[in-house]
Amino acid sequence: MCGIIGYVGHREAAPILFASLQKLEYRGYDSYGFATLHQRKIWIRKNKGKISEAGFEKLPGTIGIGHTRWATHGNVEKTNAHPHVDCEKHVAIVHNGIIENFEILKKRLKKDGHKFRSQTDSEIIAHLIENNIGAGVEEAVRRAMLVLGGRSAVVVISRDFDGIIAARTGSPLIVGVGENEYYIASDIPAFLNRTNKVMYLDDGQMVIIEKNKAPVFKDIKSNDIIKKRIITIDWDAEQIEKGKYKHYMIKEIMEQKETIIRALNQDSRAIKKVANEIDKAFGVFLTGCGTAGKVCLTGEYIFSNIANKHVNYVTSSEFPNYKNFLTKKTLLIAVSQSGETADVLEAVKVAKEKGVKVISITNVKGSTLDRMSDYTFLINAGPEKAVASTKATTAQLAILYLLAYSLAKNIDHGKRLLLETASKINDMLNPRYEEHIKKIAKRLHRKKDIFIIGRGFNYPMALESAIKIQEVSYIHAQGFAGGELKHGPIALIEKNTPCIVLTKGEDDHDIISNAMEVKARGGLVIGVGPKRYGVFDLWIKTPSVGVLSPIVNIIPIQLLAYHLGLFRGCEIDTPRNLAKSVTVK
């Protein structure tokens, strides 16, 4: 949520900030802005909407900051776009996060005579710094950070300092290390085409990057200096480009030909060790949000069916309500593509306070979740840029299957099944297949509702299907457990209302009965699965993979969502109102 970039070096900052911010646009895209420092003066440009070149090239200087916004406090207006400045323009700041005590702070600052230009909570940071500017800008930033409630990442330039000062109390910030130049950003793709060497800023830390000097990391509370290591990231810049594809989403869907195999590239000893922990634990929870949450819910079925083990899924934002059930014997498995989702991190924090061991499944090495966990499985999917999660979903599922098969003392069999599934996906994802789905999308794209039903393993995937269709095509879509339809939602079925039915190709009698119930009320039944049942008006074939059917069934729905979005002229990779990593609660 909100993308931040900063640059200190020997080159013109504005073009670098511009290019980097474009790479961060998936984090927020309602407005954007830049500030540079030149001859002890701060130069600012901001605008509403997605990043365009208007005015950015006129900013002079080799030090600067940029921001792309996902609005929380204050409308989508130019005045609310970052950077924000204090009354006397001593500093310009960009911020990602939410300041929970902003009303009290703003009231106090107003009383002290500060004049506000925006409706944002972020602007108060500039005024808080101004209040202490007499102590020097570094100390003023530190003091401001000490009073901010909530989770924040802040990057500051000042007319009195030849560099950048940044601080983190919850939201991510990473320093990119170049040749006598430094970047600071909320995500690695911002500077990956320039350097893959990084230094992580942990919670409660700040960094002072002065021109021609090495960065100095400090603890915000104690002001003590902290030593940091430079870490090399093994993603390459090409992975974050669209290549021959029109959108990241379709590129990432197609990458599932390889990503499931890459997800299986885990240390078997670690899989066995964690499976053993799951076995020993008294109470195992899975937690995640949105799509990752649906992966966790599938995990309940995976562990129950394959390993006869009871695990509980709790959506991360509700997890704190379960704290009374947590003990030192509990195990928490947190699933998050980005590893930066605030609700997930909060769940992990609550668990850790109770002495719970935390295992994470994430795509981003060095992410906050990775660093908070006792053990991390990296899904190895490569950067996922489209807001709609696709390849991360199936890779996360693959790891849950591996763990369950290991728990059932059958890991080799599990691996074999997953590899077979990966090869069937490779065959499935051909141009003819996509064309077939495109035709179905054409038929459905003007519908106002789409329902999706599934049972067992495919029930969570029905919920996930709804998320995909909603966020990419803006069609109202809802997923249900097949058996639930008759308890209420069936009232919504009218003549030709589309209902997608997820099947396995075996033991499908109950879900087929539910499909019949829809058909009997005039619904248009679209079957997904290995067998073409008579009740289907339209059919999308998926390979027969038994208990692994969630992995293969969700892929055609991802394609369907993509083509629905295209037919409806939607912003595929950056859907309205959304952002890739949701770093606010």
Closest-CA residue to 94 (of 19, 15, 147, 152):
152
* DSSP secondary structure letters along 69-107: E--SSS-S-GGGSSPEE-TT-SEEEEEEEEETTHHHHHH
CA distances from 89 to 33, 40, 156, 167, 435 (A): 16, 11, 12, 20, 56
* Closer residue to ligand M6R (CB): 96 or 341: 341
Smallest separation (angstroms) from ligand M6R to the CB of 82: 22
* Closer residue to ligand M6R (CB): 260 or 289: 289
* Closer residue to ligand M6R (CB): 501 or 572: 572
Main-chain dihedrals φ then ψ at residue 44, nearest 5 degrees: -130, 140
Burial class (CB in 10 A: 0-12, 13-18, 19+), 520: exposed
* H/E stretch holding 501: strand 498-502
Catalytic site includes residue 438: no
* Closer residue to ligand M6R (CB): 316 or 549: 316
Smallest separation (angstroms) from ligand M6R to the CB of 273: 24
Q: Using CA atoms of 108, 110, 112, 114 in order, give the dihedral in degrees to the nearest 10.
A: 130
What is the maximum span of the chain, computed from C-alpha positions, in angstroms? 78
- Spatial separation of the C-alpha atoms in residues 426 and 418, rounded to whole Å: 12
Closest-CA residue to 153 (of 141, 169, 140, 175):
169
DSSP label of 269: H
- Spatial separation of the C-alpha atoms in residues 478 and 449, rounded to whole Å: 8
Smallest separation (angstroms) from ligand M6R to the CB of 261: 21
* Closer residue to ligand M6R (CB): 156 or 314: 314
* Closer residue to ligand M6R (CB): 157 or 398: 398
Smallest separation (angstroms) from ligand M6R to the CB of 577: 11
Catalytic site includes residue 2: yes
> How many Å separate Cα 401 from the centre of its chain?
22
* Closer residue to ligand M6R (CB): 130 or 471: 471
Smallest separation (angstroms) from ligand M6R to the CB of 522: 31
**Catalytic site residue from 106, 357, 468, 580:** 580
- Spatial separation of the C-alpha atoms in residues 532 and 555, rounded to whole Å: 18
* H/E stretch holding 454: strand 449-454
User: What is the arrangement of strands in the sheet containing 182-185, beginning at the earlier edge strand?
Assistant: 41-48, 31-38, 63-69, 3-8, 182-185, 174-177, 197-200, 231-232
> Do 193 and 201 contact (CB within 8 A), yes or no?
no
* Closer residue to ligand M6R (CB): 421 or 581: 581
Q: Are strands 357-362 and 375-378 parallel, antiparallel or unpaired?
A: parallel
Smallest separation (angstroms) from ligand M6R to the CB of 337: 3
Angle, helix 391-407 to helix 256-263, in steps of 10 degrees? 30
> Do 149 and 103 contact (CB within 8 A), yes or no?
no
Smallest separation (angstroms) from ligand M6R to the CB of 316: 8
Interface with ligand M6R (CB under 6 A): 289-292, 336-338, 341, 344, 387-389, 467, 471, 581-582
Smallest separation (angstroms) from ligand M6R to the CB of 386: 8
The residues annotated with a catalytic role in the active site are 2, 580
